[in-house]
Chain A
Amino acid sequence: MSRDVFITGCGSFLPGEPVCNDGIEDHIGRIHGRPSLLGRRALRWNGIETRYYALDGEGKGFDTNAGMSAKAVRTALGAAGLGVGDLSFLATATTQGDYLVPGHATAVHGELGQRSMEIASFQSVCGSSLMAAKAAWLNIKAGEHKVAAACAGEFSSRWFRPAFYEGTALVDAKGRARAEADFLRFTLSDGAGAIVLESEPRKEALSLRVELIDIVSLADRFDPCMWAGASVENRTELSKGWAMAGPVAAHAAGAVALLQDFDMLKRVIRAWVGVYLEKVDVKRIIPDSVDWLLCHYSAKSLREEIVSLLEKTDAMIPQQKWFSNLARVGNVGSASIWIMLDEFLKSGRLRRGEKVLCVVPESGRALVGFMLLEAV
């Protein structure tokens, strides 16, 4: 049995007050007490002006990943006119949960409380959001559940505290962190978002019919581009991962912190574009029919030649159709797409019959996901 599925509620949670660029290091700290040399460059590149942290001005945590995720789920249920008592399937997404084990969904469910339910944990980077959404979508589609939620949460800032870098191979004799480590500290921040899915649209408000969720991994050809659990030098050898060395030695080798290879990112961006062009070529995505584009990547960071390629191949969605809040709420990894969708729905711009394309690229090991929605 296969039936239509609708997003009937969306919610987000951003901890504390917005933090401006000058305040970042008060929250994530300064490695060996020295301000970062790369921070400014990272901020120019990502264009983020404010973000939220679940760490206070002294670096103390005042929330958890599961706590923020559960709050976003409650808000999304509320927006759908439902409560936790109505929810029977929960799929969660995150880059790194509060614990290593058990799965993140158990923690979010624990925070939600109230009733037993089916759960599924998805762990990747940004793309885990759509993995969870796809599980929720298919569960409703197959008639397994009546009300499902997909949430995504990140508490990246605690991984950016000095303790993750000091005394490791990631910091040189002058106390400077390697670019692979430091850039991300000024890129990612905290928060959570969620959607609620049902087999019937709401009568009193706009719902979003899910037309497709496509996720494509290119890990067959790419090495890890953003990772944690291996040093920069050993990142392509799974047998030299952190668990083999043990936590103390792995930490010293710089194998525990979150890292990114920026040279590789350029190649990965071209590969994302290639996957998108394939979707356009087989008419799975028809750019002219898209009214709104929500992309977890700023148009500003796409280099000129990529925009030119998209235009010349009839694949570009004009920038006036792009909606983004990345510059104000920051890059919240897997949660970004729901935080963006939530603000977009609240903006009142969407009209019945319009189509919304959500694009979620993940640098992790080169993955990209698409979700196409129609307002009904």
Chain B
Amino acid sequence: MQDISSASSHDISGAHSHDVSDVLRKLAMVFTTFEGRLEQTPLIRKLTRGRFEIDDYRAFLIGLRQQVKDGALWMSRAASNVDEEHLELRSRLMRHAVAEHRDFRLLEADYVATGGELSAIVGARKNIGSEALSAWMFHEASQPNPFGLLGAMWIIEGLGSIKAAEWGRLAQSRLALPDSAVRFLLYHGENDTTHIAEFEEMLGLVLPDEKIARRIVRVAEVTARLYALQIEEITA
């Protein structure tokens, strides 16, 4: 088993590892491009332009549910494909999966709190973007040592810590929703500050390695594009 301290992004003297910071910089750039793309989707345009209706919010929750439900599943699959050399990363992925695998129930409860029928959100089919995103995530998680998925986690966790609360507040004030109807979006914004630090530690478990570094950034790019496609395809 690899010793965590020697694999972390900080060496003994406490100096910053350039390998980790280079990947973080590229990931931050991918996220900015992603945010710009989200900004232009019809659903988010409605939200930021004050034209968001309750049906848009319900469609949004339905659209998010599939990916949230799948999230813990692909993460578990990814963990099962991590070898013995990287047990610490495997542990983290498993803990992460456990922590989040019931979150889609919160989305369902939010949906019901808006006055929607539970069967409507549970029985809804995936949109085209969700199909593509889900297939991609499970494909990537099925590879041996699927470290590129750290890039996917950056995008999806980033959405949770940066965008979710912002969207939740806008939707709540526009539609005068009770707190019980925006719990999923608002609760995700809470872990904001520790987000980058924890992620940096995980990068330190697989870097430096040029090939893995490139893969992490590439997987982030593909995940961001497919996630945006999922939001583009949400129509009320």
Q: Which A residues are closer than 8 A to B by beta carbons? A: 218, 220-223, 233, 236, 263-264, 266-267, 270-271, 273-275, 277-278, 280-281, 304-305, 308-309, 312-315
Contacts and interface: CB of A to CB of B under 8 A. Distances in A.
Given A312-B196, A314-B18, A223 B48 contact: yes
Given A281-B26, A313-B24, A314-B25, A273 B32 contact: yes
B32 A271 contact: yes
Contact of A271 (B21, B25, B35, B48): B35
Given A223-B49, A274-B29, A314-B18, A267 B35 contact: yes
B50 interface: yes
5 contacts: A222-B39, A267-B39, A270-B32, A312-B21, A314-B25
A313 B203 CA distance: 13
B170 interface: yes
B47 to A, nearest CB: 11
A315 B25 contact: yes
Contact of B21 (A218, A236, A275, A313): A313
Nearest to A313: B25
A347 B185 CA distance: 49
Interface in B1-38: 16, 18, 20-22, 24-26, 28-29, 31-33, 35-37
Interface string B163-186: 000100010000000000000000
B200 interface: yes
Contacts, number: 70
Contact of B36 (A271, A280, A308, A312): A271
Given A264-B48, A305-B192, A305-B193, A312 B37 contact: no
B40 A221 contact: yes
Given A223-B48, A236-B49, A274-B32, A305 B196 contact: yes
Q: Which of B25, B49, B170, B192 has the most CB of A within 10 A?
A: B25
Contacts of B20: 312
Query: What 8 pairs across the A-B complex have the smallest Cβ distances?
Result: A274-B32, A313-B25, A221-B36, A314-B21, A221-B39, A313-B24, A277-B29, A313-B21
B1 to A, nearest CB: 27
Contact of A218 (B36, B50, B196): B36
A277 B26 CA distance: 8
A314 B200 contact: no
B28 A274 contact: yes
A312 B200 contact: yes
Contacts of A218: 36
Contacts of A274: 28-29, 31-33, 35
B148 to A, nearest CB: 19
B14 to A, nearest CB: 13
